[in-house]
Amino acid sequence: MPELPEVETVMNGLRPALEGRRFTHVETRRGDLRIPFPKDLARCLTGRGVKRLWRRAKYILADLDDGETLVIHLGMSGSMSVYAKGKDHRLGTFHYPRMTQGAGKGKHDHVVFDTDAPARIVFTDHRRFGLITLVKTDALAEDKLFKRIGVEPLSSRFDAEFLVAALKGKKTPIKSALLDQRIIAGLGNIYVCEALWRARIAPRRLARRVKPNEIAALVTAIKAVLREAVKAGGSSLRDHKRTDGELGYFQHRFAVYDRARKPCPHGDGGTIKRIVQSGRSSFYCPLCQK
């Protein structure tokens, strides 16, 4: 499901329920996700406070007040729902649904976090490709999950010079290189397709054959599409929803993703085509992407 804009949206939605708050009660249901929950996760989280929430690649990170970080990945189908407890539904600028009976009792609700906001956060993931774990905060960068993660695309370190160097000599198609989290952190299938379309680069081009001026255009396109999508609350296709239950709306602005056989919005008479690259769909316009 979620790429950088969706993860960013979920993280922002969690903020009023988590940041500066304390876990009053935590319950885990089935722990056999991508990696098993740490032993006694529920018991050992209870009573601990969250100092700060942030995002790295497609991970949501909650720094706890005692030197550990709660690490959350939503996989393909994960979501976090926040419910307000008590009379006041409003937490900061967010208006969460009132907690109803059964919140957290669904078939695929794997963890229920109650905090002193007061709020209830429910982690749901029907495909179970997500993960929740704990890592020592000062060892995050060297952790197996993070040590090979590349540059944040919305940071100033991600520029044309960086990407030219990163793609140099790469024999893999440009589409695959952009999906490689060791190079750029947080891009997924949707935003790679959209950025390639904006930069007018065909997804099958070999990375090493893409010219520096095209790479510069690609960097601009990646930053722009991600910023627009974050602003729109991400894209809601199947599973993504915001923590308050509302949908993102960037899917209405897709130029190519999931638009096979539709006209290319560049308006030159091209038609969007779907191809498969390393088992995943790529959407592009054969007329304007060269």
Instruction: Give the residue, chosen from 38, 44, 129, 253, that forms a contact with DNA under the rule CB under 7 A.
Output: 129
* Marked catalytic residue, from 52, 170, 262, 280: 280
Sign of CA dihedral 119, 130, 6, 226: positive
* Marked catalytic residue, from 55, 56, 58, 175: 58
Cβ closer to DNA: 43 or 171? Answer: 171
User: Contacts with DNA: how many residues (CB under 7 A)?
Assistant: 39
Q: Is 157 considered catalytic here?
A: no
For residue 188, state whether it binds DNA (rule: CB under 7 A): yes
For residue 127, state whether it binds DNA (rule: CB under 7 A): yes
For residue 231, state whether it binds DNA (rule: CB under 7 A): no
For residue 172, state whether it binds DNA (rule: CB under 7 A): yes
Site string for DNA, 50-69 (x = CB under 7 A): -------xx-----------
The answer to whether 272 and 263 are in contact (CB under 8 A) is yes
Q: Is 2 considered catalytic here?
A: yes
For residue 233, state whether it binds DNA (rule: CB under 7 A): no
**What b-and-e string marks burial along 121-150, b requiring 16 or more CB atoms within 10 Å of the CB?**
bbbbbbebebbbbbbebeebeeeebbeebb
Cβ closer to DNA: 117 or 131? Answer: 131
Task: Give the chain as a 3 state SS string.
Answer: CCCHHHHHHHHHHHHHHHCCCEEEEEEECCCECCCECCCCHHHHHCCCEEEEEEEECCEEEEEECCCEEEEEECCCCEEEEEEECCCCCEECCEECCECCCCCCCCCCEEEEEEECCCEEEEEEECCCCCEEEEEEHHHCCCCCCCCCCCECCCCCCCCHHHHHHHHCCCCCEHHHHHHCCCCECCCCHHHHHHHHHHCCCCCCCEHHHCCHHHHHHHHHHHHHHHHHHHHCCCCCCCCCCCCCCCCCCHHHHCCCCCCCCCECCCCCCCECEEEEECCEEEEECCCCCC
The answer to whether 85 and 118 are in contact (CB under 8 A) is yes
Instruction: Give the residue, chosen from 227, 278, 286, 290, that forms a contact with DNA under the rule CB under 7 A.
Output: 278
Q: Is 241 considered catalytic here?
A: no
Site string for DNA, 63-102 (x = CB under 7 A): ----------x-xxx-------------------------
Instruction: Give the residue, chosen from 236, 243, 255, 272, that forms a contact with DNA under the rule CB under 7 A.
Output: 236
Cβ closer to DNA: 44 or 260? Answer: 260
Cβ closer to DNA: 16 or 75? Answer: 75
Measured CA to CA, the distance from residue 247 to residue 10 in angstroms comes to 11
Task: Scan residues 11-50 and list those touching DNA (CB under 7 A).
Answer: 34
Q: Is 58 considered catalytic here?
A: yes
For residue 209, state whether it binds DNA (rule: CB under 7 A): no
Instruction: Give the residue, chosen from 189, 205, 210, 222, that forms a contact with DNA under the rule CB under 7 A.
Output: 189
Instruction: Give the residue, chosen from 163, 234, 242, 259, that forms a contact with DNA under the rule CB under 7 A.
Output: 234
Q: Could you list the active site residues?
A: 2-3, 58, 280
What is the binding site for DNA (CB under 7 A)?
1-3, 6, 34, 57-58, 73, 75-77, 107-108, 126-129, 145, 170-173, 176, 179, 181, 188-190, 234-240, 278-281
